[in-house]
Amino acid sequence: QVQLLQSGTEVRKPGASVKISCKASGYTFTAYTVHWVRQAPGQRPEWMGWVKAGDGNTDYSQKFQGRVAITRDTSATTVYLDLTSLRSEDTGVYYCARAGNGWYELAHWGQGTVVTVSS
Amino acid sequence: SYELTQPPSVSVGQGKTARMTCEGTNFGSRGVHWYQFKAGQAPAMVIYYDRDRPPGIPERFSGSKSGNTATLSISRVEVGDEADYYCQVWESGGDQWVFGGGTKLTVL
């Protein structure tokens, strides 16, 4: 079965960077796009961007352009989210999610990674 | 920016039917997808492309869309269905995946 296993809790100071991983299994890794979605406390989920695991192409939400990078390692079947210049508003739960066969739906999700940004 | 509007909360008695709405503009051919978020768990897609149900999701979960309103219905509601439910569409103008504000389902 499809599984997305994310790395553990992170605590950072403002201005620092964070890199979160998402280990995929149970399907052909290069055949699907993986997205990152974050949810700040009490807020709706917010789409950050995606990577096509096959060719590494990416697309990012304009809100995060310049601060975010999504990469993948096909040999490790792992997708990464890099977020720089962290501020307190970046505190939240970060999820990876694999697209479905129709492209627009997020069919499978990771368990989430808590990121806390605090001085 | 494109917005999806959901009622903040819905309460329903155990065994009854819960209906949660999602309002947008120009829904047209946009596919609406629904997700169940429970604290400490991986979110789960419960309905995709308006009315399709993924494998493993009970038949009690169903979706529909009419005009600019999509609806997620859960029949024979169970205590285990308590969760936050979010609708989502792809917004072509900004090439964005957009989520609604979510509805908290409480089972009485």
Residue A46 tokens read as 């917010």
- pLDDT of amino acid B91: 86
Residue A104 tokens read as 């627009």
Question: Which residues of chain A lie closer than 8 angstroms to B45, CB-CB?
Answer: 100, 105-109
Question: Which residues of chain A lie closer than 8 angstroms to B94, CB-CB?
Answer: 62
Residue window 77-96, chain A: list those with CB within 8 Å of chain B: 95
* B94 pLDDT more than 80: no
The mean predicted confidence, pLDDT, of chain A is 97
Contact B45 A107 (CB under 8 A): yes
Chain A residue nearest residue B42, CA to CA: A111
**Strand A113-117 relative to strand B61-66: parallel, antiparallel, unpaired?**
unpaired
CB atoms within 10 A of CB A61: 18
A26: confidence class by pLDDT, cuts 50, 70, 90: very high
- pLDDT of amino acid A21: 98
CB atoms within 10 A of CB B78: 12
